[in-house]
Amino acid sequence: MRLYLVAACAILAVISAANAADECSGCSKEPQFPEAQSLLESHGYSRSEYSVLMSWSERTHDGSDRFVTGFHVKGPDGATFDLYSDGDDRVFSKEDVKALGIREKKWDLPPVEKFGEAPPAVARLLPEKPVPTGVSKSIEPRGGAVLPEIDWARVSREDAESESLGKPTRIGVLLDLAAPAVVLGDNVSTGEWSPVDGGGSLWSIEILSPDALGMRVHFSEIELPLGARVVVYNGYDANEAYGPYFGPPPGETDLWSATVFTELVVVECFVPASADRNAVRLTIDRATHNYVPFGKLAMAKGAGACELDVSCYSSWASTSAGVGGIGSVGQSGSLWCTGSLLADTDSSTTIPYFLTANHCVGSQSSASSIEVYWLYQTSSCNGSAPNPSSVPRTTGGAQLLATTNVNSGTDFVLLRLNNNASSGASYLGWASAEAGIGTPTVCIHHPSGDYKRISFGDITNVAESLLDSHPRSRFHQSTWRVNLGVTEPGSSGSPLFIESTQQVIGQLWGGPSYCGVPASGRLDYYGRFDVSFPLIEQYLDPDTTISGGIEVTRPEAGISWAKGRERKIKWTSTGNIGAKVRIDLYQGGAFVMNLKGQTNNDGRWKWAIPLSLSPAANYFVRVSSVADDTIFDNSDNFEIRN
């Protein structure tokens, strides 16, 4: 039985349910992992009587986009219960937890399994590339910046230290512009606005980082009027272009562009004649300088000769299409890891849930920067590796849903990609039952950031120096078979499969293995999926019985919104109304237009109000469940004005 401590308990310092519901004002914008025993002891739970079995961080569901920290605690009588904190010094009551939309964890769930879902065809399908306005209209960039020189001796020392500590592999460093490139309407710090034939205006600059193999541009501010767009492209080959970008990812205030494989990046902002140029707000303050080519990451010197090309194992072709390489931006620069696209048990949806390691993507700011490279693999057994810029890529970041670190849990993070996975990607199956000692295993990964490889092993429990810190209760130890592959830097976060069923049972933390390691070190540690599952069960195994209600909370009665502006529509839901909602606009009871066919039921959606709408004070918005359109709510009447 799950126990919660109520507000009347004298030993707890709690915040009121009203405060908790007020957008979780005390919660953090990032996952927090305070020293668990010390926090509990400060609230009266002595170390001698209470032990923390696991701690984690998860996103609230009250519309605040904040995180709470959970603790699974064992008491002196052997009973277990869960406590939740704001990550600092407050512990929430049962009422607070409910107000925050945190679901009760089911630690005694019966085993659940899901088999993989293959794509219709495994093909390298690339998204349509934007055509830069400056290229199509023959307008050259009118300003720019050269990034500073890099202290390579320092970079080498940092990379060596990072590898020794088991941190994710770095492929690029962060460089600040000498002075940020700022656009505040007509006021620009570099470059200038140029008229565009056919209407509108264009601002563009070049950013050069000599000898960079790839660059990502950081917009610390990006706010555009309706119809305006930002595109980044290769200054030497405009066919490599990314965007268009219209603003930051959901819930964020900044934006990282996709990687452009060049030393010279052009950034352009186009504003149509119908938009107000003075509403443009852009600040570019830094960029990454990627210095390691894929497949030749620092310290690893390329994937080892003992690694096996996944394309040589045709029975794993469909499953391998669900494994992707991850590029992200952390405090030290551009990072590289591996992850996997997971299926859920609701056959009516294809939500892009993505599993990797917490030490690869441990914060929402890092999650917002990720890009996933799909199908970065040879087209035939031991064939040539493709150019990374030629494979499908999902950009736009992700929403961090739940995570644990290596010290307090299983070193996992579950993300929901903000954009869809490539149409050639598979959704992978998984199993929440414990995999026993001796279970044959497989890992598919990107060793050293190279093209995809495969390794074969077995679950073991061999005494080894890392075993105490990665106990069997939270981690699988996989020992690799002789001459059948290992893992390397860049493989972190990659999935561990049951060989016979091709179901995910964990994600890679790391270990001592590498090509040429003695037999005693030919093993790695994977956070156990079955231990993590109660924390992500609500996403991967949703209750498909649709019931509950919706309440539209914005727009409010009497509010006035101007045409051509962006405004947020907000709602709350109770029960299980499904993963998606539909949003429609009505006037005086008559249907006007569909605003969004389906969007995530996360409580908010940004609406760019069309200029074509007629001014009136009797509009309302309807939000309805996609799974059951009899579940809906109408907003109060509001005004749309010129």
Q: Which residues participate in catalysis according to the annotation? A: 359, 411, 492
Cα separation, 322 vs 376, whole angstroms: 11
Contact 400, 367 (CB under 8 A): yes
Contact 204, 141 (CB under 8 A): yes
| CA-wise closest residue to 171 among 446, 414, 479 | 446
Q: In this structure, what is the dihedral angle of CA atoms 540, 543, 545, 551, given to the nearest 10 degrees?
A: -90
Cα separation, 432 vs 413, whole angstroms: 16
CA end-to-end span of the chain: 57
Cα separation, 44 vs 53, whole angstroms: 17
Contact 191, 350 (CB under 8 A): no
Contact 578, 601 (CB under 8 A): yes
Sign of CA dihedral 432, 436, 439, 443: positive
Pairing of strands 393-394, 440-445: unpaired
The one-letter amino acid at 461: N
Contacts for 209 with CB less than 8 Å, ≥ 6 apart: 146, 147, 175, 215, 263, 287, 289
Distances (CA, A) of 177 to 143, 292, 331, 483: 13, 21, 16, 47
Contact 283, 182 (CB under 8 A): yes
Contact 212, 292 (CB under 8 A): no
Question: Omega into 244 within 30° of 0, i.e. cis?
Answer: yes
Cα separation, 242 vs 65, whole angstroms: 28
The pair of three-digit structure tokens given for residue 69, joined into one six-digit string: 């920290």
Cα separation, 64 vs 20, whole angstroms: 10
For residue 3, the cross-strand partners are none
Cα separation, 295 vs 108, whole angstroms: 43
339-342, long-range: CB < 8 A, 24+ apart: 339/372, 339/415, 339/493, 339/494, 339/495, 339/507, 340/428, 340/494, 340/495, 340/504, 340/507, 341/421, 341/425, 341/426, 341/427, 341/428, 342/414, 342/427, 342/428, 342/430, 342/504, 342/540
